[in-house]
């Protein structure tokens, strides 16, 4: 999918142009609810969101707080569960779907689970085998995740970017 939005390091969604309006679900959210809801969808769903390292409810709560403040209007937040926002989220996820990114996110979630297991397993003589198995699993998963990261970065670098001079045909169009 062509990137519909750019997200800066602070999480601000930048509308590059109005291309996203050709997607009926996003157009409906934008026209009925406004920019804040588009920002919510992008920051929660986009692979390149500034919130990408957060998981689950923590991501959602942080994005809500950053968009609507620490004490958001309950009516505004209730609209996030509405059909038009849910349809737009579903469509956005489908349009940007990348199996490598999804696998990377799954590995990240599993690493979080491994960390919790490690924290919650007491260090005792009879638990050393369990701890060793957890740490070995973490190491293997981390290695696989780093391999995926390299694939993702390589794919991003290989995408064609603009620049250069206009082609012979482009010179006649402008």
Report the 10 Å Cβ neighbour count for 140.
10
pTM: 0.69
Q: CB 119: neighbour CB atoms within 10 A?
A: 7
- Total residue length of the chain: 174
- pLDDT tens per residue across all 174 residues of the chain: 445 666 666 656 665 556 677 789 988 998 999 889 999 998 999 888 889 889 889 999 999 999 999 999 999 999 999 999 999 999 999 988 889 989 998 999 999 999 999 999 888 888 889 999 999 999 999 999 999 999 988 887 765 444 445 444 344 444
């Amino acid at each position: 999918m062509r990137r519909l939005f750019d997200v800066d390091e602070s999480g601000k969604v930048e509308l590059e142009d109005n291309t996203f309006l050709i997607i009926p679900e996003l157009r409906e959210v934008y026209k009925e609810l406004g920019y804040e809801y588009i920002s919510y969808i992008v920051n929660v769903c986009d692979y390149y969101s500034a919130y990408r390292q957060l998981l689950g409810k923590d991501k959602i709560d942080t994005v809500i707080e950053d968009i609507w403040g620490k004490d958001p209007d309950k009516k505004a937040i209730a609209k996030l569960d509405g059909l038009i926002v849910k349809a737009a989220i579903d469509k956005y996820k489908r349009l940007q779907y990348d199996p490598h990114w999804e696998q990377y996110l799954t590995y990240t979630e599993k690493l979080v689970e491994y960390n919790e297991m490690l924290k919650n397993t007491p260090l005792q003589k009879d638990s050393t085998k369990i701890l060793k198995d957890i740490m070995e699993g973490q190491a293997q998963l981390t290695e696989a995740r780093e391999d995926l990261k390299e694939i993702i970065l390589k794919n991003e670098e290989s995408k064609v970017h603009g620049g250069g001079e206009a082609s012979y045909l482009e010179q006649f169009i402008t």
